[in-house]
Structure 1
Amino acid sequence: MAPRPVVTCLLPGLFGPVPAGASGAVQDTGPYPNLQRLIALGRHRPAHSAPSSEALIARVGGINEPTGGLLASMLAERPGSRDAIHYRASPAHLQPDRDRLLLFAGELVRPDAADRQGIAERFNALYGDDGLWLTPAGDEWLLTAETPPGPNLPALAEVTGRYLDTALPGGSEFRRWRQILNETQMMLFDHPTNTQRARRGGLAINGLWFWDGGAVAGPLSAAFDRLIGDNPLLEAIGGLSGIGHQPLTALEAGPPMPGMRDLVVADGSEKALLGGDIAGWLEALQWVERDLAPLLTTWVRRHDAEILLHTGNGRAYRIHRANRWRFWHRPPRLADQLVEQ
């Protein structure tokens, strides 16, 4: 008998943390019977909380490389020496709140190709002589530093929705980071990119957040046979491990083959929550209800697949065909699964 396919499905942010009161919005836009049925078929097991898709991917894939170094491996030409450190450089929107600034990120501040190039050119003109370069990479940038400006700053998911002054670590070892962040804000204040974004009705990119730096990653061992999703880390991991990577739309092509180990990452919920976008989070939740949950249920019932579902909030669900006898198990209220901030 052929071994069953195993699909590890990561849905970071699906159940939060969400702003207080979001459970009411779920009740107003529900019901969500497909997702509730899928969860009801699963056997719950405790799992380590992971604050981001990056942390979830690293945990299930056994990857210990900084994501900056992973993404740097994708660049055909990298500025700096072989010993340079590469940091994620994520676009941010800093929103005034009285005399303080709240930091938001995610899909609402995603730059287009012209934004990425224009901001990189001005940054490099300002900092190139200091051994710092900004290079477009995916939907953000990489900051290459000949000499690290200081210890790593907190991960992006840990600072979004917070006041910038509380997100920035104190201490003299972070002084250079604080200087770069402040100067970057001033550089972006009147940048033509933001003029164009304002005309399109978009949020200004008036800050950058630098995080998870590391040297260029080397070859990785493969924990999966196939990677599916639009997260840029999957492409980098695929290139370093020699396994296939496909976009999320590849799910429509059909079920996994017997014995295959697939990793699926659908991070739309997380991207919305990084920007405090509850409407976008509800839209991602509805996509799971409409498209993903029925597909996974079909794979379990018709193709004997085993689904390992992780949402990053301390819960995991193991779903396989033997659980079909759990028809008596009452589907949980979706609002009860949410974790509030």
Structure 2
Amino acid sequence: MREARLPALEKWLARADLSRVPGRGAYAWLAEASALPSPPPYAAVALAGEAEPREGPWMRADPVHLRINRDLVSLYDASTLDLSTGEAEVLAAALQALFKDDDLEFVVPAPERWYVRIPGDMPVTTPLDQAVGRDIFGLLPNGGSLNWRSFMTEAQMVLSNHDVNARREVAGQPAVNSVWFWGEGTCPPNVVLPFDRVVAGEPFARGLARLGGVPAVNVPGTLAELPPTPKDKDTLVVLDDLVRPFRRGDPEAWLAIARSLDERWFASLGDVARQSGGLRLILPGEKDTVVATLAPSTRWRMLRTRKSVSHHA
């Protein structure tokens, strides 16, 4: 596929002041901005955003598909599974029965997002977005009070032999043959969020809003539909529409959504910068995060050369 061109976003990136900060991915940037401990308790915060804050140590236990490719085992996340709510609940119930004597508690608020409360010390894990598409050897949970590698092996055996996966195989769907444990931690008692409002559907961002005591609202269809931010207040908007097609390896869907975002959100950034006194675009990448600051005066930098978005990656 030819290099994607997004005219509106390219225009404002050309006129903005650009900088880079360490940290890979949106989760890492949000955690750093909210001064969360290291490693950030991704699971506990996201669960607070999906339901309510829960006591105890929590991890994500997300359904995944492991595929053997010659001498390595690659991980594919739930964006490739099209898992139904019923399938997710039945499979999670099988894991709950398997680990009932180990005091693990599974919670499934959404088909693609599973959580587990664990006893004892927590292991060191690898975030899902850093494991997708990679060989999982060397990325498995390490340490803690429980034998997590043994747990993963037992979980894989139960899931692989489950009737749900037998039916999925007949239907030509990939098997839910493992879970990925990550995001360990307990819910922080309070979060100092540097925003006065969060506009997001993504659970981690909504969890930060709840724990930080600021309102969280759903993402509207266009930037024009977003209620203006009051003077001297900051709004965080999380647009995660591109995550699923990226992880599915669907460049055509990715490009279609990217062009739609360019028209519905990025074309009006200049007006927002003028009305609000400025804004920042946060573009998480594979190695670091690009921060594009657009002040009212920078809107007039019309002679700057526009470059493709991939140039800034």
**Which band: TM-score by shorter chain?**
0.7 to 0.9
- Residue 238 of structure 1 deviates from its aligned partner by 2.1
Q: How does 1:1-341 map to 2 (within 5 A)?
A: 25-27=1-3, 30-48=4-22, 50-64=23-37, 65-73=40-48, 75=51, 84-109=56-81, 111-138=83-110, 139-148=112-121, 151-168=123-140, 176-195=147-166, 197=168, 202-249=173-220, 251=223, 252-301=225-274, 303-313=275-285, 314=288, 315-338=290-313
| Deviations, residues 103-136 of structure 1 (Å, cap 9, x unaligned) | 0115223533213311221001100111112111
Higher mean Cα deviation, 289-298 or 125-134?
Answer: 289-298
- Kept in 2, the 8 Å contact 1:226–1:263? The answer is yes
TM superposition shift of 1:73 = 3.7
What is the one-letter code of the residue matched to 1:117? Answer: E
Q: In the alignment, which residue of structure 2 is the partner of 1:7? A: none
Alpha-carbon offset, residue 198 of structure 1: 5.1
Residue identity opposite 1:225 in structure 2: D
Q: TM-score with structure 2 length normalisation?
A: 0.85
Give 1:165 deviation, angstroms: 2.0
Gaps of 5+ in 1: 1-24
Q: Which amino acid aligns with 2:96?
A: N
Q: Distance in 2 between matches of 1:105 and 1:238?
A: 26
Identify the range of structure 1 (267-276 vs 220-229) with the bigger mean alpha-carbon deviation: 267-276
The secondary structure found in structure 2 opposite 1:249 is coil
CA separation of 1:34 and 1:327: change in aligned 2, threshold 3 A: same
Per-residue deviation at 1:46? 2.3
Which amino acid in 2 is paired with 1:43?
Answer: D
**Separation in 1 of the partners of 2:248 and 2:202?**
17
Query: Residues 228 and 192 of structure 1: is their aligned pair in 2 closer, same or farther, counting only changes over 3 Å?
Result: farther
* CA deviation map 1:284-325 (0-9, x unaligned): 422332222113233124x24412111123321101220122
User: Could you tell me which residue of structure 2 aligns to residue 18 of structure 1?
Assistant: none
The superposition leaves residues 157-208 of structure 1 with CA deviations (integer Å, 9 ceiling, x where unpaired) of 2211111224336x77798111111221111113343355556664332211
Q: 1:10 corresponds to which residue?
A: none
Give the fraction of aligned pairs with identical amino acids, expressed as a percent: 22
Which runs of 5 or more residues in structure 2 are unaligned? none
What is the distance in 2 between the residues matched to 1:95 and 1:274? 15
- The residue aligned with 1:22 is none
Partner Cα distance (2:17, 2:151) in 1:
48
Return the structure number with greater relative CO, CA threshold 8 A, min gap 6: 1
2:124–2:143 Cα contact (<8 Å) kept:
no
CA contact 2:57–2:184 (8 Å) conserved in 1: yes
Give the whole-Å Cα distance in 2 for the aligned partners of 1:309 and 1:221.
21
Task: Indicate the larger mover: 197-206 or 38-47.
Answer: 197-206
Question: What residue is the counterpart of 1:16 in the other structure?
Answer: none
Q: CA deviation at 1:272?
A: 3.4
Within 1, Cα distance between the matches of 2:215 and 2:144?
41
Structure 1 residues 203 and 321, CA gap change in structure 2 (3 angstroms): farther
Amino acid at match of 2:139: A
CA distance in 1, matches of 2:100, 2:47: 18
CA shift at 1:260, angstroms?
2.1
> What TM-score comes out, normalization by structure 1 length?
0.79
Q: What CA RMSD, in Å, does the superposition of the two structures yield over aligned residues?
A: 2.7
Distance 1:102 1:145 in 2: 26
Provide the rounded CA distance (Å) in 1 between the counterparts of 2:120 and 2:249: 34
Matched-pair contact (CA < 8 Å) for 1:161–1:275: no
AA at the equivalent of 1:62: A
Q: Tell me what 1:5 maps to.
A: none
What residue in structure 2 maps to residue 20 of structure 1? none
The alpha-carbon distance between structure 1 residues 258 and 113, as it changes in their structure 2 partners (threshold 3 A), is: same
Look up the equivalent residue of 2:20 and give its one-letter code.
P
Counterpart Cα distance in 1 of 2:231 and 2:303: 29
